[in-house]
Structure 1
Amino acid sequence: MGECRMQKMLAFLSLMLVTLPPIYGWGTDGHSIICKIAQTRLTEEAADAVKQLLPKWAEDDLGSVCSWADEVKFRYRWSSPLHFINTPETCSYQYKRDCKDEDGEAGRCVAGAINNYTSNFSPTILPQIKLNPLHVGFASDKGGNTIVVHWYKTKQVLHHVWDTNIIETAEERFYNSNVDDMVDAIQQNITNEWADQVKRWETCSLNKTACPDIYASEGIKAACDWAYKGVKEESVLEDDYFVSRLPIIYWRLAQGGVRLAATLNRIFG
């Protein structure tokens, strides 16, 4: 597979993964969890296409490539605005108002990137998709990146708490730091507790390949309702915050996996 095709595939995957509640996207484990869930839900055609596009070093593991865009955004600095959406301090999202970069160029946000990758997709090129609550956050604090808090005894920014800390704490406490066990637990919820929601997560109106405006609207709502709520500079976030927010993390990771699979199935179906 050519390097250009592989990079475009990895880019698409990374963007699709941001579709969840955190402000700028998940950390490494969050991305991996979403892709592992998605890979189990691919149709035969989609699974074969993804297998053909994955680099050999991935050993057919979609989860191993899903943090690519986060890793290369420092090399390809033009891509940085494609990882997030900044809104004014309002708990709503509007594409025309919010999807632009710091220079005001329209379409330069994660929703615009998803639209672009999926609309210009051909069977030989795979895009990327991702969304976490603080990847759709307030411009004033850069999606929680300037809000300094304490995660138990460790100083962090709020964005990192949602990207990484909540997930890693859950892995350590409940899954012996085994990410695959956490994936299994989320998949059981998809099959059982959330089974009646799955069809809605998978569906896009007007025969669209992906629905980033829906994902972004959900993201800013989750950011307001859960990430920002009750938090101020130097807040100490401990068990009350962790226990109440963890179900939202599970739910958004599940949505991301289901939606990524549905998007790839539509592309390769």
Structure 2
Amino acid sequence: MKKLLILFVLTLSYGYAGAWGQTGHRATGWIAEKYLNKKAKKELDRILNGQSLAIASTWMDEIRSDSTYDYTADWHWVTIQDGQTYEQSTKNPKGDVIQTIERIITELKSKKFTGKEEAERVKMLIHLIGDIHQPLHVGGGNDRGGNDVKIMWFRVDSNLHRVWDSDMIDDTKLSYTELAQSLDKPTPAQLTGWQNSSVRDWAYESMGYRKQVYDVGAGKLGYGYSYKYYHVVRDRLLQAGIRLAGILNEIYG
């Protein structure tokens, strides 16, 4: 009975939250395209029928209105409590972002899919690699990934998840291309190191930012919070794009 209750709580622990919002996801897709090799770029152009990775990156948010895809709702996040590894964590029976990314990579490498099925899995992969790099999509299981942490963002009601999804990004007034172009270029060592890391490494990195993320004081956030932590948003968007390119090159290059 206790285990069933835990699983029920995990299933409800997020509701729905789309990491980074449109601007962040599209910036990640834009970055990834710059690091695709020629063969992967050609294959993805065929699979996505000419659609860019940037535009394809928000497909998993767009299908929220289609009940056919309700089964994907819990794939955007994972719960790993402090002091736990993913292996030790209680698994959501409906799936999670780690399990789904690992499965889709395996499925795409199998080359068993064509047409719509393959295109949908590619779009899922693009989006979910973005999601796992948003620190609050690897939650501790207590506050729905920060959705229940009510704060004021420049005197406007918000919540901690939204601050990281979009508030800090949107306040820059940059388009997704401008945001992507404003990010630092990785060094060769960073490029290699980031692309040689695993999906579970990415999740543990997100966990590692919890102290900074929850540094909200009395909950009145604005310039000070953004000044201290917006660089984390920028770093994670860049890492997500570089790693997405690495995975797609591995599958299709």
Q: TM-score, normalised by structure 1?
A: 0.76
Runs of 4+ in 1 over 4 A off after TM superposition: none
SS in structure 2 of the partner of residue 240 of structure 1: helix
1:169-248 equivalent positions in 2, closer than 5 A: 169-170=171-172, 172=173, 177-186=174-183, 189-191=184-186, 194-204=187-197, 211-222=198-209, 224-228=210-214, 230-231=215-216, 235-248=219-232
Aligned CA distance change for structure 1 residues 112 and 51 (closer, same or farther; 3 Å)? same
Pairing 1:1-269 to 2, within 5 Å after superposition: 25-55=19-49, 58=51, 61-74=52-65, 75=67, 76-88=69-81, 90=82, 92-98=83-89, 100-101=91-92, 105=93, 108-121=95-108, 122-123=110-111, 124=114, 125=118, 126-127=121-122, 128=125, 129-130=128-129, 131=132, 132-170=134-172, 172=173, 177-186=174-183, 189-191=184-186, 194-204=187-197, 211-222=198-209, 224-228=210-214, 230-231=215-216, 235-269=219-253
CA offsets 1:157-190 (integer angstroms, 9 cap, x no match):
11011000111112x2xxxx3332221111xx12
Asked whether the equivalents of residues 99 and 111 of structure 1 are also in contact (C-alpha less than 8 Å), the reply is no
Structure 1's 266 and 99: CA in aligned 2 closer, same or farther, altered over 3 A?
A: farther
Q: Secondary structure of 1:190's match?
A: coil
**Deviations along 1:126-165, whole A, 9 cap, x unmatched?**
5414221110112110100111101112111110110001
Aligned length: 220
Contact conserved, 2:23 with 2:169, CA < 8 A, in 1? Answer: yes
Over 3 Å counting, the alpha-carbon distance change for 1:95 and 1:136 in structure 2 is same
How well do the aligned residues superpose, as a CA RMSD in angstroms?
2.0
Q: CA deviation at 1:248?
A: 0.7
Distance 1:31 1:94, change over 3 A: same
The verdict on how the C-alpha distance between 1:79 and 1:255 changes in structure 2, with shifts beyond 3 A counting, is same
Question: Structure 2 regions of 5+ residues with no counterpart?
Answer: 1-16
Aligned to 1:164, what secondary structure does the other structure show? helix
Which shows bigger deviation, 177-186 or 76-85? 177-186
How big is the shift at 1:39?
0.5
